[in-house]
């Protein structure tokens, strides 16, 4: 399996997790939320919304267009902080994001 295939599969796993727990939205947010200049669009999107509306589509766009993937990448640490310890999906989301991040460590580059 290629790196692109592995990343694509992990993105599908993250999406499936969000869908399974009813955190996948069917209505696209207003275009203005995408104008944020904050990391992870902290001022306009909730952390799980950012996964659906920013990370997953942008990564799929890179994969589909054959563009180079990021050299260094880590989103799990943000989610360890952004999702309260009592959030019911915190551990699962962080685990799946750690799996995604692992594809972009210096060891795999």
Give pLDDT, residue 81.
95
Give pLDDT, residue 105.
83
**End-to-end CA gap in the chain:** 15
Residues of the chain under the 70 pLDDT cut: 106-109
Distances (CA, A) of 96 to 31, 65, 90: 28, 24, 10
- What string of DSSP letters covers 21-77? TT---SSPPPGGGGG--SGGGTTTS-HHHHIIIIIHHHHHHHHHHTPPPPSS---HH
Give pLDDT, residue 73.
87
């Amino acid at each position: 399996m290629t790196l692109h295939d592995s990343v694509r599969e992990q993105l599908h796993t993250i999406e499936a997790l969000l869908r399974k727990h009813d955190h996948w939205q069917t209505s696209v947010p207003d275009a203005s939320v995408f104008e944020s200049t904050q990391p992870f669009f902290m001022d306009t999107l909730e952390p799980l919304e950012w996964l659906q509306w920013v990370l997953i589509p942008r990564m799929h766009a890179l994969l589909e267009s054959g563009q180079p993937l990021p050299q260094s990448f880590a989103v799990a640490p943000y989610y360890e902080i952004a999702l309260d310890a009592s959030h019911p999906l915190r551990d699962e989301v962080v685990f799946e994001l750690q799996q995604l991040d692992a594809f972009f460590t210096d060891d795999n580059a």
